[in-house]
Chains A and B, each alone.
Chain A
Amino acid sequence: MIKSLSTEDTLENAGLTEEEQQLFCNARPKQYEPYPIKAVEDFANWARANSLWILAFGTGCGAIELRPLMTARFDANRFGVAGRPTPRQSSVFVIGGYASVKTLKRIIRSYEQMQGPKFVIALGICPVNGGMYFDSYNTINQFDMYLPVDLYITGCMPRPEVLVAGIVELQKKIKQGRCDGANRYIENFDWYKANQKKVIKNWDMPDYNW
């Protein structure tokens, strides 16, 4: 297949074979602006903040802390939090602690498949600096080098109460319009990609997983 020259709008997708190139979209993601009318944007942010759909993807040991959220004791439903099994419909990605390189690849893929605005909560200390896995050959040390993080909840492991507090904090941030991680990702797309590719050696997916 003859591929048009790499321009601003298309990605190279060098990780794919020629046959696979046509099966994946190679468009470069774009930033989105806030709505031109401030009131609309505020309203939208309010709606987004009160309807946080968490992607049901347990990426580390923190996944176990997410489960009690839905129980009678914590009842995150009150805050409009719900689990969603597909990234297409989710708006919050909770990174549950350490992320191994293998998982990171899946995290990136799922994150990119989520539709903006989307938010990332990094749970525990591991995404911050590696935590107890700081010297592991297989676990990344700084999660925000690979994906933008909107909110950190540290601890090893944070209790669900903290998680609830974090969600409330995230809602505040969203309402204030300060959660622009998705846009930052696009803005520094090349930097993030370079970092990602530095650790993920078998890059057999398109550069952006639409």
Chain B
Amino acid sequence: MIAEWIGKIGNFTLTLLIVTAYGLFMTAFIERIIAKVQGRIGIPYWQPVINILKNFFKRTAVSHGYMFYLGPVFRIAGGIGTLAFIPVIYGSETFSNFSMAGDLFLVIYFMFFGQLGMALGAGESGHPYSAIGIARGLSQMTAYEVPFALAVISIVIQYDTLSITEIVAAQQGGWENWTVFTNWVATLAAMLAFLGMTGYSPFDIFLAPQEIPIGPPTEFHSAYLSFMSLNRALFGATKLVLFMNLFFGGATGLLELMIKTWLIYMVAIVIGVSFPRFRVDQAIRFFFKIPTLIGIMSIVYAQMMLTS
């Protein structure tokens, strides 16, 4: 029993390191692509790591209170936990993490864990910009959750299960079995929601580096910031893995994982560099219109699939 748990924890630590490293690498990679588009060289590949290290090596810090101190802890716990409940590579015991603890529903709800804790930490800093940023971020979250929820319901209808492993299993056996091809409506709705989830332009108002200096994390610095940067890489990669699992057939190996997630990420990046920013109420209205409609259609589509 104990040995089993130690094994699990060891495996998970490995997954965690790989996914985090991959997330960091991908951040830099995307940055470099953007730089290339702009005719620059861009940051070195290890720049995100250096930034995180630099912040760990800060020698001073301030604290606004215990919730402020715990905010980044909650944040990264949210990221790690979310990863813990997702099987990363199909068929691999090593990368199945703790997905036996709960299903897709658990993952979706656990995503809030970090956001809530982080929001509380930022709130205690007493900075009005933090509160404004969170207010905007949460509002936007309620909006993109709608198409996402609809898409998730659609695929749950389709596969008749909430277990991520089983959803991936159902998509094995060739690209034509992937959700993106079998249930493209749900995938479309989910990918639109994904744009909001990643927080890239045009849905990055809650960070808004110019108007409200970087929103919720305004007061965070030093090691706190390192935690949050780590989480940003980790959580971003985790969301990609989740989307890959749900809609793009999962991955049977690390290489497949990387290629697929990178491609999914590119969607957000391409749209992000092409469009200007929405105001938050515009963003909310946007999600309640076309994406929600597509989401509703996806449920109808899934039901039709079942009956036919």
Which A residues are closer than 8 A to B by beta carbons? 25, 29, 32, 44, 47-48, 50-51, 53, 71-72, 75, 77-78, 80, 85-86, 88-89, 91, 115-117, 210
Contacts and interface: CB of A to CB of B under 8 A. Distances in A.
Contact of B60 (A50, A80, A115): A115
Interface of B: 31, 35, 38-44, 47, 50-51, 53-55, 57-62, 209-210, 213-214, 218-222, 225
Contacts of A71: 40
Contacts of B62: 25, 115, 210
Contacts of B40: 71-72, 75, 77-78
A71 B41 CA distance: 10
Contacts of B47: 50-51, 80
A67 B16 CA distance: 38
B54 A51 contact: yes
B35 A77 contact: yes
Contacts, number: 78
18 contacts: A25-B62, A32-B59, A47-B50, A47-B53, A47-B57, A48-B57, A51-B53, A51-B54, A72-B40, A75-B41, A77-B35, A77-B41, A80-B47, A86-B218, A86-B221, A89-B214, A115-B61, A116-B59
Given A72-B38, A80-B43, A89-B225, A116 B58 contact: yes
B46 to A, nearest CB: 9
A203 to B, nearest CB: 21
Nearest to B220: A88
B42 A75 contact: yes
A117 B213 contact: no
A198 to B, nearest CB: 27
Nearest to A114: B221
Contacts of A32: 59-60
Given A47-B53, A116-B58, A85 B209 contact: yes
A112 to B, nearest CB: 11
Closest A-B pairs by Cβ, 4 of them = A85-B213, A44-B57, A88-B221, A51-B54
Contacts of A44: 53, 57
Given A78-B43, A78-B44, A85 B210 contact: yes
Nearest to A75: B40
Given A78-B44, A88-B219, A115-B222, A50 B50 contact: yes
A10 to B, nearest CB: 16
A37 B49 CA distance: 21
Contacts of B57: 44, 47-48
A48 B52 CA distance: 10
B134 to A, nearest CB: 16
A29 B42 CA distance: 37
A79 B39 CA distance: 16
